[in-house]
Amino acid sequence: MLSTSYHQRIWERFVSEGVLDSSRLNKRIMESWHRCKKDQVNPYLNKGKHILTNELLDIQREKNSFLLEVASPQLSRMNQSIKESGMMALLVDPDGYVLSLSGNEKILDEAGKINFVEGVCWTEGEVGTNAIGTALKTGEAVMIQGTEHYSIASHKWSCSAMPILNEDGKILGVLDISCPVEYFHPSMLGMVANLAYTIEQEMGVRSYKKELALTQHSIELAETYPDIPFIVCNHKEMIISASKQVRKKIPQSIGMALTDLLNHGYQIVKENPLLSKEDNRIFGKCLFLSENLGHKTNRLFPASMPSEKFAFKGESGISETFQNTLHKVKLVAPTEANVYISGETGVGKELIAKAIHENGFRKKGPFVTINCGAIPKDLMESELFGYVDGAFTGAKRQGHKGKFEQANGGTIFLDEIGEVPSAMQVALLRVLQDRKIVPIGGTKNISLDIRIITATHRNLEELVNEGSFRKDLYYRLNVYPIHVPPLRERIEDIPYLINYLCSNNNWTIPLTEELLNRLKDYNWPGNIRELQNVLQRLTILLAEGPLDHVKVLNSMNSQPVTRYDDFPSCDESGKKGFRENELTIREKIQRDLMIEALQKSRGNVTVAAKLMDIPRSTFYKRLRKYGI
């Protein structure tokens, strides 16, 4: 190996004159220097310049969560040895961002001085020739010492890196071991290569397990849909399993590429993503097929597949917004994905959760629901996880099964998940990761085979930003989000909902056009739950005689009906307390157009909003804003 001073002179001459003695430098390093020169990388850069914020780093880690999940235990196993050797280990993603960094604390402090920290981008293009960036560029293991680095930021460091490849040879990341040049040891490259190989082997084992899981899934599908041709593909769109009909027609179908199979006279009717029970990631998909009869079919998830019945114990109506919600339910129901349902109070989130359960593979199992916001904090652990005999004073003699254990083999629906206190969030995260619980006072793990659906009327993202809800738990729960629209965004469904609610409750309400318009023009802050309450009140009021304008208004006491003909008269400046001179010219024009539209529609807000070609929700906001 060349002396540091001699190598320094080689570097200085190349940087200043562009002259390089090829016999004095490793070929890979020489090639890298020329790339850096061509890309105008600053050789005098003294520290990393591009570091992700914590939020962006979390996103990058989530993108590479499988790599982190497999590599982290291996790095932890070697951490003590790496510390004692005066080194540090880095796991880097394919984009060159450092995802994790561990090792000797003194060395980590030194690395911090050149921004060699978590979140930094350490590619050739950013900091010049270095083990991480060059390994990413070449796809080969590499060791770079001292002034072999292109930029001075790394001149005092010795680094060895090895790409981590998947079974197809694609780079999933890079493993690097670095230390100051004085701590360099010839075994560094061998150590990093051994670690990277171990990680690759573990990934291979997991891939094999997923292939087995796909095969098992196909057996369940064959029992559920005996008359429908289907195939199961892995993430590379290679066919892992096929139904009897497909295998009979195409004996060589197993192992065939999806595109090749479709050339044998099949077309896709529906495709469902398949998610791993361990990490809720998509690892394959099930494709339901039909014989190609010469006409094209939309491959992107039609409303339903042949012979498949979708169970929804509610009124679906005709609105596009709610049909989109049901479409998402149909897609996710046959999978194992954790579902997060958002929506205002009273929109029917539990009904959506039941539909997911009843159209999934666990439909014969229990559906257990629990309102997390209604449980006292000190009772939540026992409610969710149960307790054994004698766990505490007052405990039932035979113990108590918690909601999670009650839901075993089925689905648990955690409503108002945003109300769960911090301590329980940690416990829930552990259950999601391990699929095991330990009852209070118990010592044995109870394995769980359940699907988890959560819901809340609150904004979980805001709670995460405020720090009151764990980010890692949020990502575990929010695998497949479904939003349930408020009633004011599906006004066209109101007649159908009225008919459904009245039929279910044996209510008889004369639904005149005037009454229906009144109900449509209401803002419904309590959504479908409030609609049901209003209908019940109207049923009671009918005992006093026919419904009139006043009775209808009284039944909707949460908020006045927003109709133009119900407003008090206003002078040219608007309602009392409203000053027109406070508006801009644009706002004055908007207000005048709204008044004109309301006059043309005789006070019907729905019609007025259509005349102005704006959403009803926007029209209501402007009504309040302009004091109309």
What single letter denotes the amino acid at residue 286? C
Which of 303, 321, 310 is CA-nearest to residue 492? 321
pLDDT of residue 569: 32
Q: What range defines the domain where residue 517 resides?
A: 488-561
Q: Are residues 570 and 505 in the same domain?
A: no
Instruction: Give the CATH number, domain containing residue 601.
Output: 1.10.10.60
Helix, strand, or coil (residue 273): strand
The structure's pTM equals: 0.45
Same domain assignment for residues 86 and 110:
yes
Euclidean distance between the first and final Cα of the chain, in Å?
85
Question: Is residue 269 in some structural domain?
Answer: yes
If asked whether residues 553 and 603 sit together in one domain, one would say no
Residues 184 and 233 in one domain: no
Amino acid identity for residue 396 in this structure = K
In-domain check, residue 308: no
- 315 found inside a domain: no
Does residue 263 form part of some domain? yes
Whole-number Å distance between alpha carbons of 136 and 140: 8
Domain check: are 331 and 480 in the same one?
Answer: yes
On whether both 363 and 435 belong to a single domain, the answer is yes
CB 627 within 8 A of CB 574: yes
φ, ψ at 55 (rounded to 5°):
-65, -45
Under 8 Å between Cβ of 47 and 153:
yes
Least confident of 278-287, 438-447, 462-471, 618-627: 278-287
In tens, the pLDDT along 104-158 reads: 999 999 999 999 999 999 999 999 999 999 999 999 999 999 999 999 999 999 9
Lowest model confidence (mean pLDDT) among 21-25, 270-274, 379-383, 544-548: 21-25
- pLDDT tens for each residue of 383-415: 898 888 765 555 566 678 889 999 999 999 999
Rounded to an integer, what distance in angstroms lies between the CA atom of residue 105 and that of residue 87? 9
Q: Looking at the structure, tell me whether residues 446 and 504 fall in a common domain.
A: no
Q: Give pLDDT, residue 303.
A: 33
Structure tokens at 387: 């307790």
Question: Is 124 in the same domain as 111?
Answer: yes
Is residue 245 within 8 A of residue 271, CB to CB? The reply is no
pLDDT tens per residue across span 265-324:
788 887 777 766 665 566 778 888 887 654 343 333 333 333 346 788 888 888 888 988
The token pair that represents 21 in the structure block: 């003695």
Q: Is residue 538 part of a domain?
A: yes
Buried b (16+ CB within 10 A) or exposed e, 592-609: eebbebbeebebbbbbbb
Is the pLDDT reported for residue 57 higher than 80?
yes
* Domains contained in the chain, number: 5
- With H, G, I as helix, E, B as strand and everything else as coil, classify residue 320: helix
DSSP string of 451-487? Answer: EEEEEESS-HHHHHHHTSS-HHHHHHHTTEEEEPPPG
- The verdict on 16 and 72 lying in the same domain is yes
